[in-house]
A and B are shown apart, each in its own frame.
Chain A
Amino acid sequence: MKKYGKYIRALAFILGLILIVEAMDFAFGQVGEIRWKFINVNKKDSNYDTVILGDSHTKCAIDPNIIDEEAGLNSVNMAINGATVKDMYYILLESCRNNDIKNVVLDVDYLYWMSPQEEGTFNECFVYNQLPASSYVRYKYILDNLNKLDIRNVIAHRTSYSFATSTVKNNISLKLNSDFWNGTIFATNQTKESSCNSGKGYMPVADTCVTNDMEAELCAYDFLSTTTIADCRINYFEKIEEYCDENEINLICITSPITPTSYECLCYEQVNETMEAFFENENVTYYDFNLLKEDVLDRTKDDYVDNEGHMGITLSKEYSTFLGEFLDTVISEDDVDTSIFYENIDEASEDLNNGE
């Protein structure tokens, strides 16, 4: 026994380390809608057949309930604020873990496709941090990113830590609540009166919730006029493509329409040309709904809560209705009526912004 004493002490020490990490994760690690979305998509009775991937634009723009009604699907909105193409690959894998997914609708946001991106930054793995410990996707992420992942993000949920006293108090009270363990929507700090309580990941923004984002700040994104798509995005998009091909999943890439008054400032004509050329080269179905005609989806600056392109609830419902019908056509492999699109962004801008 004496011989093994030092080994027992060493094991006890390591156990102590694990307990400390768990305690720190519990107190400091923030959880929210990302965790809830992962729990929700893997619920036993979910049976989703369509997953919608994207970021904050998608999260408030596409209502799966309406999509399901129009297209006869069972869809889930897995859009996450700030999710990159890399994140979307792992979100897709996680969504497919307990669902027989037949369709993927990937919403392409110019900000996350055409901005310079450095892979391997510390906070890059904020989505991976919320994957459940029981999911193989979590370990696949670690294996795929062995040379990029900081050790602190593997042994703990470090990237989600916040040390503000109020946040710590909130974390602890949230995690002691049954809502957290049951994975209900209220575990995301949503109020019971919230309109996003559909279990489908759609989180609309009230039309009146106009944010104070200045046009000048938006126009600082002028890198979009010169930048091409970063290699790591192409790399992960091709992984998504490959996964869909192997699993006979229908991959449909779209871009939800953004605030029309921002087209000029963002050099969106060039963005549209770059994205269309890219998807054509990849031989993937792509529709930029910024080219949707006004009579198909009437939209103005006032339908958005900011210049960047977050839709208000009213427009998002109309858009979801249109999108549902459109997806029904695409999935059924019927011919898409191209007359609903403008020729180019300049034409769209002129028509939509007429009088502005």
Chain B
Amino acid sequence: MSFINVSFFLFILLGMIIYYLVPKKFQWFILLVLSVIYYCSFSFKCAYALIYITTIIFVAGLLLTKLDKDCKIACKKEVDSVKLSREEKKVIKAKYTRKRKAVVAIACVLGFGLLALIKYTGFTVSNLNAVFGLSIKTPSFLVPIGLSFFTFQGISYVIDVYQGKCDACTNYLKMLLFVSFFPQIMQGPIGRYNHFVEGGLFAEHKWDLRRVQFGAQRIGWGLFKKLVLADRAGVLVTAVTNTSTIYGGYINVLTLLMYSIQLYMDFSGGIDIVIGVAEIFGVTMDENFRQPYFSKSIGEFWRRWHISLGAWMKDYIFYPFSLTKAMNNLGKWGRKHFGKHFGTVIPICLANLLIFFIVGIWHGAEWRYVIYGIYNGLIIAVSAALKPYFKKWLKFFHINGESKGWHIVQIIRTFILVNIGWICDISALGMRWGIDFTLGLFKNYHLSQLRLSYLSCFGLAAYDYAILLVGCLIIFIVSLLKERGVNIRESIALKPIALRWVIYYGFFVMILILGYIGTTSGFMYANF
């Protein structure tokens, strides 16, 4: 049930009607039924993964709550009418903390274990075979749709309960809804349990036409990005990257630019549809993009791109890792030998390398994704390490680091670095191809490559490039307004009705007429 098939629209329409007709206390249950139907429409067989993750995190949440209660009871106990001393309470708390940590550890092992088994066994086996000359049969598994997303989401719930950020859910079916909530199961965002609760996942919702209209507008915006821009840009990317021929020069540059359009429009367009659908049902979801191509550094980029993944890594890996005893000791050692700055920065750099290694392999069980992750991690690590020197160099060259001009330079620099990282993404034909493609960026430049007659060989006509240009201009203007804090939907809603309708009808006509009608691909991040 793809977002652009008629079945999806009928599903949303019928689901919405039933949702608002049933007694409000059953609305969450309707969402659950819709989610199960939606998931099973892709693969009934893979529903076991949802049940498995839900059961693990549900049981873990209850266990953590029970241990917490038991600990409090144990601490309040009196022996021979004498309250426990501070030391005794400390011992009891430490014992229960170890038990609670064990519950979290087991939940993580079981949850990530399934993910590792299904997604990474093949990769591990093939590498062992290559390195040690073995011939172990590479197993293949049916990969449940959205496995990465709902596994990470589920484990975040367990850790949040452990940390006391949210109460454990005592209703298994509500837990299942949290894991399987249908708009976001295929491509995120990776939600947090307390955000979902605050966002109204289990709440009762009154029919609100304005909210439904806003949701529909968000869906329309997502379809515009996906159908008009992403699918169109993807034509040239596919034409160039599906062949062993390396064109070089302007074609390689154009391919990267097109890929950056395709990936951003596809992913953010899909998220717009996800958020729009959730909004129709009264559920508020976290944003997953915040004008990422306006970032001034790679670090900032990852706070604006796939925000939920970055936040997950930061909260559940970066902070716990960098605050461990080992990292503390490393920091002390660093301060002793390299000074205060490096002493502080070394654990942060290692933590960044770790999380981006994980980000890399999260994207796929291939070396190119590992390289992609490490590439990003290295840039962030090196930037952090050299921060004081950057400040000195800016001062030396009399550059005002706060000036608009310097910000623009930073944005362009970051955009280039991000695009270089995308080379790993497009190197489906292998690392050798990726290296040749990268080298091709520095040679074979001919102006004839920019002729429309030559560019049309890659499947796009002159009007396609014009549509992409105008479309990107629209996206740029909207992004600029959002960057300045303008709420676009609210501002349009305040305009005269005639103007509003012209805008809405205009986008509708654009999607219908300009939406690419070749072989439309599915959403890219649904593969993760």
**A residues whose Cβ falls under 8 Å from a Cβ of B:** 6-7, 9-10, 13, 16-17, 20-21, 24, 28, 118, 121-123, 142, 146-152, 154-156, 158-159, 161, 163
Q: In whole Å, how far is A22's beta carbon from the nearest beta carbon of chain B? A: 12
* B458 at the binding interface (Cβ < 8 Å): no
What 0/1 pattern do residues 244 to 266 of B give for CB contact below 8 A with A? 00000000000000000000000
Q: Is there contact, CB below 8 Å, between A159 and B209?
A: no
* B403 at the binding interface (Cβ < 8 Å): no
* B44 at the binding interface (Cβ < 8 Å): no
Q: A9-B497, A152-B512 are in contact. List 14 more A-B contacts (CB 8 A).
A: A10-B209, A10-B213, A20-B509, A122-B519, A146-B10, A148-B5, A149-B5, A149-B7, A150-B517, A150-B520, A152-B4, A154-B6, A158-B512, A159-B517
Docked complex Cα distance between A146 and B518 (Å): 19
* B20 at the binding interface (Cβ < 8 Å): no
* B513 at the binding interface (Cβ < 8 Å): yes
* B85 at the binding interface (Cβ < 8 Å): no
* B505 at the binding interface (Cβ < 8 Å): yes
Docked complex Cα distance between A163 and B515 (Å): 13
Q: In whole Å, how far is A246's beta carbon from the nearest beta carbon of chain B? A: 27
**The 3 nearest A-B residue pairs measured at CB:** A146-B7, A122-B517, A154-B6
Chain A residue numbers with a CB within 8 Å of B41 are 147
Q: Is there contact, CB below 8 Å, between A163 and B513?
A: yes
Chain A residue numbers with a CB within 8 Å of B210 are 6
Q: Considering only CB atoms, which chain A residue lies closest to B11 in the complex?
A: A146
A-B contact pairs, 5 of them (CB 8 A): A10-B209, A10-B213, A20-B505, A147-B2, A152-B511
Chain A residue numbers with a CB within 8 Å of B9 are 151
* B316 at the binding interface (Cβ < 8 Å): no
User: How many positions in chain B have a CB within 8 Å of any CB in the partner chain?
Assistant: 27
Docked complex Cα distance between A152 and B8 (Å): 13
* B333 at the binding interface (Cβ < 8 Å): no
B496-528: which residues lie under 8 A (CB-CB) from chain A?
497, 501, 504-505, 508-509, 511-513, 515, 517-520
Chain B residue numbers with a CB within 8 Å of A147 are 1-2, 5, 7, 41
Q: Considering only CB atoms, which chain B residue lies closest to A12 in the complex?
A: B501
The answer to whether A17 and B508 touch (CB under 8 A), given A24-B513, A122-B520, A163-B513, is: yes
Q: In whole Å, how far is A82's beta carbon from the nearest beta carbon of chain B? A: 16
Docked complex Cα distance between A156 and B513 (Å): 10
Q: In whole Å, how far is A219's beta carbon from the nearest beta carbon of chain B? A: 23
Chain B residue numbers with a CB within 8 Å of A28 are 513
What 0/1 pattern do residues 378 to 411 of B give for CB contact below 8 A with A? 0000000000000000000000000000000000
Chain B residue numbers with a CB within 8 Å of A20 are 505, 508-509
Chain A residue numbers with a CB within 8 Å of B508 are 17, 20
Chain B residue numbers with a CB within 8 Å of A158 are 512, 517
Chain A residue numbers with a CB within 8 Å of B518 are 122
Q: Is there contact, CB below 8 Å, between B209 and A150?
A: no
Docked complex Cα distance between A146 and B1 (Å): 8
The answer to whether A121 and B4 touch (CB under 8 A), given A16-B501, A161-B513, is: no
Q: In whole Å, how far is B516's beta carbon from the nearest beta carbon of chain A? A: 9
Q: Considering only CB atoms, which chain A residue lies closest to B515 in the complex?
A: A152
Q: Considering only CB atoms, which chain B residue lies closest to A13 in the complex?
A: B501
Q: Is there contact, CB below 8 Å, between A151 and B505?
A: no
Most buried by A among B5, B515, B518: B5
Chain B residue numbers with a CB within 8 Å of A150 are 4-6, 517, 520
Chain A residue numbers with a CB within 8 Å of B505 are 16-17, 20
Q: In whole Å, how far is B205's beta carbon from the nearest beta carbon of chain A? A: 18
Docked complex Cα distance between A142 and B6 (Å): 8
The answer to whether A151 and B213 touch (CB under 8 A), given A20-B505, A20-B509, A121-B519, is: no
Most buried by B among A151, A159, A163: A151
Chain B residue numbers with a CB within 8 Å of A123 are 517
B93-120: which residues lie under 8 A (CB-CB) from chain A?
none
Docked complex Cα distance between A148 and B497 (Å): 36
What 0/1 pattern do residues 193 to 217 of B give for CB contact below 8 A with A? 0000000000000000110010000
Q: Is there contact, CB below 8 Å, between A24 and B512?
A: yes
Q: Considering only CB atoms, which chain A residue lies closest to B518 in the complex?
A: A122
Q: Is there contact, CB below 8 Å, between B509 and A151?
A: no
Chain B residue numbers with a CB within 8 Å of A148 are 5
B14-44: which residues lie under 8 A (CB-CB) from chain A?
41
Chain B residue numbers with a CB within 8 Å of A156 are 512
The answer to whether A7 and B209 touch (CB under 8 A), given A13-B501, A122-B517, is: yes
Docked complex Cα distance between A13 and B213 (Å): 11
Docked complex Cα distance between A30 and B11 (Å): 30
Chain B residue numbers with a CB within 8 Å of A161 are 513
Q: Is there contact, CB below 8 Å, between A21 and B512?
A: yes
Chain B residue numbers with a CB within 8 Å of A122 are 517-520
Docked complex Cα distance between A148 and B8 (Å): 10
Chain A residue numbers with a CB within 8 Å of B517 are 122-123, 150, 152, 158-159
Q: Is there contact, CB below 8 Å, between A151 and B501?
A: no
Chain A residue numbers with a CB within 8 Å of B519 are 118, 121-122
Chain B residue numbers with a CB within 8 Å of A9 are 497
Docked complex Cα distance between A21 and B508 (Å): 10
Q: In whole Å, how far is A4's beta carbon from the nearest beta carbon of chain B? A: 11
Chain A residue numbers with a CB within 8 Å of B1 are 147
Q: Considering only CB atoms, which chain B residue lies closest to A161 in the complex?
A: B513
Docked complex Cα distance between A152 and B226 (Å): 14
Docked complex Cα distance between A21 and B7 (Å): 20
Q: In whole Å, how far is A139's beta carbon from the nearest beta carbon of chain B? A: 11
Docked complex Cα distance between A28 and B515 (Å): 15
Chain B residue numbers with a CB within 8 Å of A21 are 512
Chain A residue numbers with a CB within 8 Å of B509 are 20, 24
Chain B residue numbers with a CB within 8 Å of A149 are 5-7
Q: Considering only CB atoms, which chain B residue lies closest to A123 in the complex?
A: B517
Docked complex Cα distance between A28 and B514 (Å): 13
Q: In whole Å, how far is B499's beta carbon from the nearest beta carbon of chain A? A: 13
Docked complex Cα distance between A146 and B5 (Å): 7
Q: Is there contact, CB below 8 Å, between B6 and A146?
A: yes
Q: Considering only CB atoms, which chain B residue lies closest to A150 in the complex?
A: B4
Chain B residue numbers with a CB within 8 Å of A121 are 519
Q: In whole Å, how far is B210's beta carbon from the nearest beta carbon of chain A? A: 8
Docked complex Cα distance between A267 and B400 (Å): 73
Chain A residue numbers with a CB within 8 Å of B501 are 13, 16
Q: Considering only CB atoms, which chain B residue lies closest to A145 in the complex?
A: B6
Q: In whole Å, how far is B420's beta carbon from the nearest beta carbon of chain A? A: 34
Docked complex Cα distance between A92 and B520 (Å): 29
Chain A residue numbers with a CB within 8 Å of B10 are 146
Docked complex Cα distance between A328 and B517 (Å): 45
Q: In whole Å, how far is B63's beta carbon from the nearest beta carbon of chain A? A: 40
Chain A residue numbers with a CB within 8 Å of B520 are 122, 150
Docked complex Cα distance between A161 and B508 (Å): 16
Chain B residue numbers with a CB within 8 Å of A142 are 6
Docked complex Cα distance between A50 and B278 (Å): 52
Docked complex Cα distance between A347 and B459 (Å): 44
Q: Is there contact, CB below 8 Å, between B6 and A151?
A: yes
Q: In whole Å, how far is A65's beta carbon from the nearest beta carbon of chain B? A: 39
Q: In whole Å, how far is B55's beta carbon from the nearest beta carbon of chain A? A: 29
Q: In whole Å, how far is B124's beta carbon from the nearest beta carbon of chain A? A: 33
Most buried by A among B7, B209, B504, B519: B7
Q: In whole Å, how far is A29's beta carbon from the nearest beta carbon of chain B? A: 12
Q: Is there contact, CB below 8 Å, between A13 and B504?
A: yes
What 0/1 pattern do residues 270 to 288 of B give for CB contact below 8 A with A? 0000000000000000000
Chain A residue numbers with a CB within 8 Å of B5 are 146-151
Q: Considering only CB atoms, which chain A residue lies closest to B463 in the complex?
A: A163
Docked complex Cα distance between A184 and B518 (Å): 33
Q: In whole Å, how far is B127's beta carbon from the nearest beta carbon of chain A? A: 33
